[in-house]
Amino acid sequence: MLMHNRLKKIREIRGMKQAEVCHGILSASHYSNIEACRFTASADTMRLIAERLDVPYSYLTNLNSYSAELEELLLEYEKLIDLRNRKEMEQFLSKYKHEFQYIESISQEYHYFLLKFLELVSTNKIEEAVTHYDESISDIDTTIINYKAYKNYLYASGLYNYYKRNYKESIKFYLETIDMDKSYKSRLFYNISLCFYIQGLYSNALFYVKSANDLYLKEHKWDKVADCYNLISVIHLEMGDLRKAEKYIQKGLDIAYLSSKDIEPKLYHNLALIKKDQGDIESALNNTHKAIKLKKSLNANDIFISYRLKLTIFSENRDVYNLTNTLKLAENCAKTPTELALLKYFDAQLNWLQGNYQQYEKGISKVVKVFLAHQDWISLKQASEHYSLYLEKDNKYKKALEQQKLCCLALENIKKGK
């Protein structure tokens, strides 16, 4: 982002058109050439433009400056991000709001943008982080940033590509980060494992998560060790090895008291999945209940995923009574469009179990469209597969074929790791 990009960005933030900025100062064509970096404006002209945009004159002119004081603040900001102390981070940003508002040095502003992205990720504001990357980081000139900022750029780009589902690109950036800084190794091995896992490359995923686990064990980072045991278990579950899957969940539960509180409900949730696949429905439901109870005590934002598991168990076992009651309980936890659609899906399942086929068709046809629109491929596969079998039995072969095509589309995207 050179000076012309800084001009354009501020103008767009202000919601102004080029003609509004240059009115009474210079011609529209001349301003357009300045913003496109074809002409260099005089100092007097830049002062007038800065005044019109309501930014300090130095912000548009001192791009190659450097502030030692600001560098210290950036280092402190990064430490707080690593500590994940949200309260201290908020206090810090509030205290130094003025210092970060208009950073003259283009290289230091780049660094601030990168740290802002990592802060948003650390506080689980993923959509906001992705938007911030698109607007402020995607056009960074990496040739003018220092070593530490470039390392953060590689790491941030790995995370960004992960959230954008570009897993091969994500792995590439993670490996480049490790080449620069071996202290990131354990964290990035875990992230690389996630990328391979989502792509269905389970052997690679196991190699990297076990490598991460070995490093975390040496560092005595028990919350991370428990996280690794959890992921190892999930990978074995996907590979169909229920014995090993349960073994690693138990390992995680054995050290859960040493770990952060948020890992325990995840372990119980995944243990419920294992018990479900083993056919031990009572144990599956008990562990799902434990997961939900713990998540509620932590005010976790992923409670619905455990309710979904519970609803799936009751639906598959044709338990109309418990399916009805659990649907009512899950209503308060459904927040996103796909979660709300999943409630409608299980409501359709309830109608199907009760023989209310007209209501079933009406409900499931709507949720299939929602899952497709939001590219929730797992839910789309589940819903379209059920609907196509229903239509086939009802001799509605044309509609059944349409649902089968959607099911195939969902499967293709699941295999691609989307």
212-245 tens-digit pLDDT: 999 999 999 999 999 999 999 999 999 999 999 9
How many angstroms separate the Cα of 306 from the Cα of each of 268, 272, 380? 10, 9, 18
Residue 245, burial from CB neighbour count under 10 angstroms (0-12, 13-18, 19+)? buried
Q: Has residue 415 got a pLDDT over 90?
A: no
At 173, the pLDDT band (50, 70, 90 cuts) reads very high
At 141, the pLDDT band (50, 70, 90 cuts) reads confident
pLDDT tens per residue, range 344-389: 999 999 999 999 999 999 999 999 999 999 999 999 999 999 999 9
Q: Has residue 185 got a pLDDT over 50?
A: yes
What percentage of the chain carries pLDDT values higher than 90?
A: 80
At 313, the pLDDT band (50, 70, 90 cuts) reads very high
Domain annotation for the chain: domains and CATH numbers = 3-61 (1.10.260.40), 66-180 (1.25.40.10), 206-318 (1.25.40.10), 336-418 (no CATH)
pLDDT at residue 259, as a whole number: 75
The 3-state DSSP class for residue 281 equals helix
Give the pair of three-digit tokens for residue 312: 């799936």
Q: Has residue 110 got a pLDDT over 60?
A: yes
pLDDT at residue 262, as a whole number: 86
Q: Has residue 1 got a pLDDT over 50?
A: no
**CA dihedral sign, ordered 294, 296, 299, 305:** positive
Cβ 104 vs Cβ 70: under 8 Å: no
Of the candidates 70, 80, 83, the one whose C-alpha atom is nearest the C-alpha of residue 111 is: 70
At 158, the pLDDT band (50, 70, 90 cuts) reads very high
d(CA 145, CA 118): 17
Of residues 39 and 198, the one with the higher pLDDT is: 198
pLDDT at residue 2, as a whole number: 52
At 280, the pLDDT band (50, 70, 90 cuts) reads very high
Q: Has residue 97 got a pLDDT over 60?
A: yes
The 3-state DSSP class for residue 241 equals coil
The 3-state DSSP class for residue 227 equals helix
d(CA 338, CA 37): 45
d(CA 408, CA 363): 21
Cβ 123 vs Cβ 86: under 8 Å: yes
Give the lowest-confidence range in 29-38, 170-179, 277-286: 29-38
Give mean pLDDT, residues 150-155: 96
Per the prediction, the chain carries an average pLDDT of: 93
Q: Which residue has tokens 């349409």? A: 402
C-beta atoms surrounding 42 within 10 Å: 9
d(CA 187, CA 174): 10
